[in-house]
Amino acid sequence: MSKPNKPNPQAPQTHQQPPSSQSSSQSKDEIMIFDPRSIATPVYERLSQLKNRTNDQARLQKQRSMAREIYTYLSTWGLMRLKAEETILSDKDKRDGREDPVRIFFECLQELSGNPDLSLDNLKKLSADEYLGLTGLALEIAREFSFWVSAIYKEDDR
């Protein structure tokens, strides 16, 4: 019996599935192994960069608050409404810092999903399975935002 390969902690690994575990609907002989750092790393890096680029304390507070609220907003209203909220917040007359975490949230979602177009029009065109899968990934990213915002935007930084 051969030893299974150790997964590379930096990237998803593929492994051959034994023939008995394959379902008839599977078209590939490989499965992906998930590394949770693949979600945490881009969230941490983007939030850190955002905070480091911002000197205005009021703006920092708005960023912190919005980054914490993304999970609640997403789980209550859904991905399409959050995307619409990004559009509303990005209006140049309404920019106050809240738009920044939402923008980088969608950057992370785009990167991790491999979907280059997360516009409202494209979200409407996704199949139900694709939309629900993307929403599941979005919720995981939002959870990471909720955690990392506390570590990056510490209370004593105000």
CB hemisphere CA count around 81 (13 angstroms): 9
User: Once rounded to an integer, what is the mean pLDDT over residues 118-137?
Assistant: 96
**CA 82/CA 77 separation, integer angstroms:** 7
Residue 2 has pLDDT above 90, yes or no: no
Q: Binning pLDDT at 50, 70 and 90, where does residue 30 land?
A: low
Residue 29 has pLDDT above 90, yes or no: no
Q: Binning pLDDT at 50, 70 and 90, where does residue 4 land?
A: very low
Question: What are the sequence ranges of the domains in the chain?
Answer: 57-157
Burial track 107-143 (b if 16+ CB lie within 10 A, e otherwise)? ebbeebeeeeebeeeebeebeeeebeebbebbebbbb
Q: Binning pLDDT at 50, 70 and 90, where does residue 139 land?
A: very high
Residue-wise pLDDT tens digits, 17-28? 444 444 444 445
